[in-house]
Structure 1
Amino acid sequence: MTTSITLRPARFSLPRLGLPKLVWALAATQFVGRAGGVVRSFLVLYLTQAQHLSPATAGTVVAALGVGDIGSQLLGGWLGDRIGRRNTMLVGFVGAAVALALLGSADSVPEIWAAAVAVGLTVELHRPAGSAAVADLPAQQRIRAFGLLYWAANLGFSVATVAAGVLAQYGYGLLFWINVVASLVAALIVWRQVPETRPAGSVRMRQKLLPVVLRDRRMIAMMAVHVGYFTLFLQTFTTLPLLMTADGLGPATYGAVLALNGIAVVALQPVAVRLLSGRSGSVVSAVSMLLVGAGAALGALSHGTAAFAGSVLIWTLGQIGIAVRFGDTFADLAPAELRGGYMGLASTTWSVGAVLGPLTGTALLDLAGPAVLGSACAIGGIALFFARKALS
């Protein structure tokens, strides 16, 4: 008797790290959106060179986009709780494609301003909704899931920074179309691969976000600490090039030093998730804030390429630590029916810091000099360390 053995072809599958397909689909949208997000990095050059606007006017357009960005975090969280996480992400990606097309075709300054606000309102709309979808997962999966999303976004950003400089040589219009296509591809991934995760009956609970948050003193305190952290962290991206220029180092050296940030995040983030996921979130966050303060202080006092590179690596380690525990920190605070709103408010702390950080850092550097800036960064890191520890 002959025994027949049927060989089935091996099925390819991603190493899911114990995560559902939902998380991998969200990571794909993060990568595609960031890798194709080439317009923002070159927006000032487009406005001044292609549209012939003055630097001051171009700055107001960038500010208009930033105002829209703050609104998108709140709107994205609110919509995620009302119309669902999946629908909000679809609205965001499709809306961003339309807004980017309008910005690329706008000619008058009022049209450009309006389109910039629209881009700000839509291009980040998916983020709090996606974070809420991850927050809907079991608690033991959240840290790995948030870590994967952050890693995918940074990998995409690294691709975008390299590609945009090359593609811009062929005209800024190409950048807009690439960004539009990337947003539509991300929307397609959401449509085909991302299920709805909003808890059943959450709309019927009828809780209003603002009254709940105003009664949640821990949430308010956590937001305040993270606004302080992002203010400290994000000022480095505006003061670092000024400090390096004053030290006689050119744009190419600055680009190479800053590239260490992206390389370190992509290389170390997966390792950090494994090492830090079982540790106290308050300790990880507090130490990370201290590292960012120390790295920023060292950067303010540095001389020479090696010293500046060392400062970037130090605050990058802190950045990675915050990223590992940021999402689950706020997810643990959120009521199930208000996770979208809570994650939107959490994301807003970054947006507010992105406004306050550059203003504060450049003002200190201009008015008081590098030594005072460095001292302020060190003191800020120590204060944030103790404040975050107090919230454990």
Structure 2
Amino acid sequence: MSATSALPRQVKALIVARAVNQLGGFSLAFLTVLLNRSFGASLAMAGVVSALFGLATIPSRLAGGRLADRWGRRRTIVAGLVGLALAQLGLAAAPGLIAAMVCALLMGLAFELFEPPSQATIADAVPPAGRASAFELLTTAVAAGSLAAGLIADVVGRWSLRWLFVVDAGTGLACAVIVWLALALAPDAVPRRDDQSSADSTSAASQVGHANLAGPAIVPAPAASPWRDRALLLVTASGTVFALVSMLMLTALPLSLGAVGLNPANAGLIMAASTATLVLARPVLRTRLAKLPHAATFAVGYLLMAAGFGGYALAHTLPTLLLPTALYSLGNLLVMGRSFAVVSELAPTEASARYLAVYGSSWGVATLLAPLVATWLIGVSGPASLWTVSALACAVMAVAQPWVVRRVQGLRDDLGVIHSTKPMADRYDAVSI
């Protein structure tokens, strides 16, 4: 029996639902340009509104974890998807800038609600030995949805930017229906910590303490709060830089295309090319780079991203953007996967969700800052300066991030943490590359 066929029904349905939801997933990239072109906001004002959206995603993610404990996971996932869809429909139908700003803020408050319960549902429903296959399937399904989404964005965006948000709302509602029906018979509450067997603590090393590709893995010591874990905070700080350059790419791409005389809707084609690159290159990456140490993988990833951004600074036609897009996409995939691997190694078994939530807050900060930085740099000196700054930031991180990995290991050694030599390839197969 294959790993895929052995997955629980609710996990398969959740993966299908996320792929359906991803079909409209490129509307966020057009939020700033929509406010600028359809509602008459200045470039600076559009950036501020998009930043407020990003600010709202931080409490949204934290609320998702709390609501999952109180309402149950299925209700929280559905509430988040429906709330987001209603806000998107309101934005598409907004009569003026004020109404559009309110709807954008409501979008941010609903945007991350479904992430914590979705991740927890997969983690709890699948035994440790099958989790890599489950998340690998999720990654593939979301990538397939993203590929189609890029094509949809290119077609619909040429007609009307508002309709991009209508399409996204429709896919979100379809996802909510699938989740509601598929998880109807599944447990809807998070298992209480006092109901877990004592074996959970003794199996912590086998679940999160597999060997670090840079050396022995970290079996973390118990921490009262993730916010007091200096190693996690250091990883989160470096992760915020990565999240910021990633969000700059997403937020600024349509604006930069318009600034050089191209149709902003072409961003959909570029994103589709990005996703196709990841799907086609994944088998090669898994065989060639899967066994590289964390530090080396971070360095390679950031250098590829820097090369991609540098190519963007020089490119002014759609064909010349394709190679930089491929380089950026491959680098982004490498850095993204290893970042989650490092956080997972740091997290105690009983606090993995809280650790991932703290690390995930870096994306909220990046979503807040990215539109402000992008609109300011493009407005002052054009898109070439934005991509040049992004390339330089990635070049710096190619040196800084390996230091962070070594520093995190040193902090754990200072605390006298026990190490394990058990291979971690199975656990991080899906998330590393």
| TM, length-normalised to structure 2 | 0.69
Shift of 1:350: 2.4
SS at match of 2:92: helix
SS at match of 1:235: helix
Does residue 136 of structure 2 align to residue 153 of structure 1? no
**Is the Cα contact below 8 Å between 2:309 and 2:388 reproduced in 1?**
no
Paired amino acid for 1:193: A
Aligned to 1:70: 58
Shift of 1:290: 4.2
1:342-361 alignment to 2 at 5 Å? Answer: 342-357=355-370
Paired amino acid for 1:386: W
Can you list the C-alpha shifts for 1:268-312, whole angstroms capped at 9, x where unaligned? 346645766666556544543343345435554679877754333
Paired amino acid for 1:321: L
| TM, length-normalised to structure 1 | 0.75
* Aligned equivalents of 1:181, 1:354: Cα separation in 2: 23
SS at match of 1:178: helix
Paired amino acid for 2:395: A
Shift of 1:73: 2.1
SS at match of 1:391: helix
Aligned to 1:118: 106
1:305-384 alignment to 2 at 5 Å? Answer: 309-357=322-370, 374-384=391-401
Moved more, 130-139 or 13-22: 13-22
* Aligned equivalents of 1:355, 1:264: Cα separation in 2: 28
Can you list the C-alpha shifts for 1:221-267, whole angstroms capped at 9, x where unaligned? 22112112222444345677888899x78458975655431211232
Shift of 1:117: 1.4
Aligned to 1:212: 225
* Aligned equivalents of 1:375, 1:348: Cα separation in 2: 24
* Aligned equivalents of 1:203, 1:78: Cα separation in 2: 18
Can you list the C-alpha shifts for 1:325-371, whole angstroms capped at 9, x where unaligned? 44454344444554443333332222323444565577778679577
Change (3 A) 1:94 1:254: closer
Shift of 1:100: 2.5
Paired amino acid for 1:158: L
**Is the Cα contact below 8 Å between 1:81 and 1:202 reproduced in 2?**
no
SS at match of 1:296: helix
Could you tell me which runs of 5 or more consecutive residues in structure 1 were left unpaired when the two chains were aligned: 1-12
Moved more, 337-346 or 237-246: 237-246
Aligned to 2:169: 180
- Aligned match of 1:385 in 399, 402, 407? 402
Change (3 A) 1:144 1:228: farther
* Aligned equivalents of 1:143, 1:347: Cα separation in 2: 20
Shift of 1:39: 4.1
Change (3 A) 1:362 1:376: farther
- Aligned match of 1:235 in 240, 244, 248? 248
1:160-309 alignment to 2 at 5 Å? Answer: 160-168=149-157, 174-194=163-183, 195-196=186-187, 200-202=191-193, 212-237=225-250, 250-251=262-263, 255=267, 259-269=272-282, 272=285, 284-285=297-298, 287-297=300-310, 299-300=312-313, 309=322
* Aligned equivalents of 2:123, 2:160: Cα separation in 1: 41
Change (3 A) 1:374 1:94: closer
SS at match of 1:386: helix
Paired amino acid for 1:154: A
Does residue 23 of structure 2 align to residue 35 of structure 1? yes
Could you tell me which runs of 5 or more consecutive residues in structure 2 were left unpaired when the two chains were aligned: 197-222, 410-433
**Is the Cα contact below 8 Å between 2:302 and 2:394 reproduced in 1?**
no
* Aligned equivalents of 2:188, 2:283: Cα separation in 1: 25
* Aligned equivalents of 2:291, 2:98: Cα separation in 1: 51
Aligned Cα root-mean-square deviation (Å):
4.1
**Is the Cα contact below 8 Å between 2:244 and 2:370 reproduced in 1?**
yes
Change (3 A) 1:334 1:82: farther
SS at match of 1:200: coil
